[in-house]
Each structure stands twice: as structure tokens, then as C-alpha cells.
Amino acid sequence: MFSNLFDIPLLGPLLRSRWTWRLLRLGALVLLLAMIAWGWKEHGIPGIKAGDALMYTNLTNHLFWVWWIMGVVIVALFFGRSWCAVCPLGWLNGLAARIGLRRELPGWLKGYIPVTLALVALQVVVYLFAIHRYPDLTARLLALLVALAVGCGLLFRQRAFCMLLCPAGAVFGLYARLAPFELRVKQNGGCATCSDQSCVAGGSEWRRFSLGRGVFFWHSRRDDCPVDLVPEQIRDSRDCTLCLNCVHNCRNNSIRVGFRRWMADLGQSPLPAGEALFLVVLLGLLTANFSKVYIDLREALLWPPQQAALLLGWGGDGFNLLAAFWVALLLPVLMLLPAWAAWRLADLQVAALPATAAPTAPTAPPRTEHGFWHRIGYLTLPVIPLLLAVHLVLAVVKINAKAGYLPFALRDPSGVKSFLAINVMHTLPGPGILIPLDILKWIVLGLLAGGILVALFAARRCADQLPTDTSRRGYLFGALLAIALPSAMYVATLIRWLFIR
């Protein structure tokens, strides 16, 4: 029954209704605009030395950096890209596209390079301006995203903003390979007899309304698939945003949405080169953020950009730029380089020739050579469960530590009165943690250990899908190295952080 949620009484019709999703998206949009308003003029508190006094007491900062940035990872674990179905930015982008120029995206903008650059740019802005500490800067970031979503919609068709400028969607696409949730065509659906593919193309329709002698006709346009996916051809869940436009447009009731086994999409094919690059950048950023609490490890990781900054005479912002480039690209590539080298060398073939025989030109055509990013695309597949586990650890710890500020932020959206009452006048007790640290440390250790074990299992599954012209043992050894090196740093950080106090 849970393989098709549309078959469940009450829930099925609710999910099929366009108005359910319109109201959810409208509610999310209203909340987004309210967050911009709540944070727009709130930078700090005059007379208070702490410049980031409103970091958690202001409702804008609290909702965005605690509940959305961290909480949505938990949603992705179970439902993949389901957040995209209610995202107000994607909805705004689609609404603007209805009245825009509807141009096709240029070929050079397709792929993962733009969204990877957007992720790096966001990290650089966080390094340089600490926007996560100040509500007014957070509000301006949200306002910029709204403007970019509308602007992309006015220029291009599809959800160009989601494809070009939304790193969250790319992250959810990675995690959707693991999540036990999917949109697929029913086994006995009517796709074979469908000629117009209205599920993808959308199209237009007339509706007739009558009341007594009065008759009224309404012409409307049905929304098409924002990413041009044919449901019958979907093989993995990385691109489907679960907008359900295809469900609303299908005349044959051939599409289902529901649960499946975990990691159903993992190992079917390697990550494309662009998506592999995005994962490499994500690996570096998560590793750097995770190591913040282990000072010795963090200093070791940042030693190369520090030395480069000293040689160049750069300080402050210059070091931050070098650190961002190092963390986002060079560090994760170096972490994966031993894995690539192990697999590459395992494909070396050595044949002994008779002592009297002279070398001759090969008669057989050379084997197909797999490039660097093609191999990285295979090697990083089993790293996805590890990254999800690290992301979950960060989310659980953050929410556990800061969720207690939510009642204060709801009563005082600006955060000024709450901060003064807690930290200056001491008329209110500060919020505590939800779970004691002695319990929390075992929970997060279990999450990390589970992620490592699942990653090892995923490596074996991916090895079974390898091309026949490459070494399976070499791949397994390389995948083990790709998992082991970051895992060692994560486990050491966790033990130093929560177990040695």
C-alpha cells in the first residue's frame, strides 16, 4: 500500500489535489517574505559588545540557519527531493516562467558547473562576511534569492534557478539516490498507448462552469515538467523534484508516488563528471565544517592556505579566499587521489615475453580508457552515505543545541528583547539542550558508524555494476580508501569533540 500513496484513502486525494500544493507553496512563500521583513533591519543591539547577539534569538536567523539548513537534511534522508515540491523559490521561478521569454538554457549553462560555483560563492560569502551571524545579512541573502528566482524565470523556461543557482537541490539529488521514496510509472500503466505525453508537455485545457442558465468557459495552461522528465524513462530520483505536475496531467492514472527499498538507485551508473565535481566540493566543505571543533585537525587542514597567504603577503580576506579555494577543491581532490591511483594502477596489465621475441605492435585495439572524473564518478558513489551521515550528525547536534531558542524567537521575532532578558537583565533562563550530551554523543556516534557501514556496503554494490574492462578488486580497494580517509578524520573529530571533555 505504501508503494503508492495515492491508493490510501483520504491521503491519496489530498496529494493529488493541485490546491494542496498551491496552499503549501503559498504558505512557504509568505513565511519566506516574513523572514525577510523580520531580519531586514536587525544587525545587532546598540551598546552590546557582542556583534552577533541576534544570531539565534532573531526568528529569521533561527529558522533559516537552524531549522532549514539543518532540518531539511532529515527530510531528505526519508523523502529525497520532497522539499523541492513545496519550495517557494522554485514556485516563484515557475510562475515567472509563465510570463517570461521562455528561452532554452544555453548548452554551456547546463550541467553542474553553475550550481557548484554557486555553492563555492556562498561559502566564500560566509567566510568573508559571516552572514550566518547577522539577521539583516541573512534577510538580504533571502531577498537576493527571491530576485534571482524571478529573474531566471523571466529569462528561461523550466526551473532555471533550481538548476543553476540552488546548491540545496543538487545536494538533495545526491541523497535522493539513498532515500526510500520515489516517483515512478505503474507496472500496468497506460504509457505505451499515450501519444501526446501531456504529463511532460503540460498543454492547455478548457473548463466549463455552469449555474442555471449561465455558462462560463475558462481556458488555462497546465504546468509542464520543470525538468523535462518523461516518467516512463526515470531510472533514478536525482532530477525529479516531486512537483507532481505529471500526476496532475496524466489522463491514464499511470504514475505512483511511494516508498521503496533504501539505496535503490545507488550503483546503477557513475556520477556524471559535473555532479562528481559538485560532490567533491561538498566533501571538502563538510569536512572543513565538521573539523571546526577539533582545533588541531582544523589547523592542520588549513596549514597550506595559511602558508600560501604568508608567502603572498595576504591576510584577512585574502587568506579566506585561499582557504575557500583549498577547502572546496584542492583538499577533497587530494583526499580522493589515493583512491583513484589505487584503482588506476590495478588496471595495469603486465605480460611476459619470450627472451628471444622482439616487441611487436599490438594487433588488438586499445581498451577504452576511463578518464579521471569518470573514475571519480564511480569512486564517490559509496561516499554519498558517509556524507549524509556527517550531514545528519551536524544537523542533530545543531538542532539539539539551538532548538530551545525557538519559543523566544516566536514571541520576539526581532530577538532584541529575548537577548537582553537572557544575557543582560537575567530575567529569563537561557535555553538548554534537548538531549543530554552523555546520550547525544552515542546517538551521533551511531549515526556516523552507520554511515560508514552503509558506505562499505554501497561500495560492494557499486563494484557489481562496474564495466567488465576494469578491475573490480582495484575499485573495491580504491573505494575503501575513499571512505577510510575522511571517516578517520570524522571519527577522530567526534571522539575529541564529545568524548574527551
pLDDT at 253: 86
Q: In terms of domains, do 431 and 312 share one? A: yes
Q: Which residues of 171-204 are buried (b: 16+ CB within 10 A; e: fewer)?
A: bbbbbbbbbbbbbbbbeebebeeeeebbbbebee
Judge whether 363 lies within some domain.
no
Q: Which structural domain, as residue segments, surrounds residue 77? A: 5-178
Q: In terms of domains, do 150 and 10 share one? A: yes
pLDDT at 362: 66
Q: In terms of domains, do 281 and 171 share one? A: no
pLDDT at 379: 96
CA-based radius of gyration for the chain: 26
Contact status, residue 292 vs residue 35, Cβ threshold 8 Å: no
Judge whether 361 lies within some domain.
no
Judge whether 470 lies within some domain.
yes
Q: In terms of domains, do 134 and 283 share one? A: no
pLDDT at 368: 64
* Sheet strands (E) in 395-469: none
Q: In terms of domains, do 158 and 285 share one? A: no
Among residues 178, 200, 223, the one where a domain terminates is 178
pLDDT at 226: 86
Number of structural domains the chain divides into: 2
- The list of the chain residues with pLDDT below 70 reads 1, 189-190, 203, 351, 353, 356-358, 360-369, 501
Judge whether 254 lies within some domain.
no
Which amino acid appears at position 347 of this protein? D
Judge whether 149 lies within some domain.
yes
Cell of 309: 597567504
By CB atoms closer than 10 A (0-12, 13-18, 19+), residue 312 is exposed
Judge whether 356 lies within some domain.
no
Judge whether 160 lies within some domain.
yes
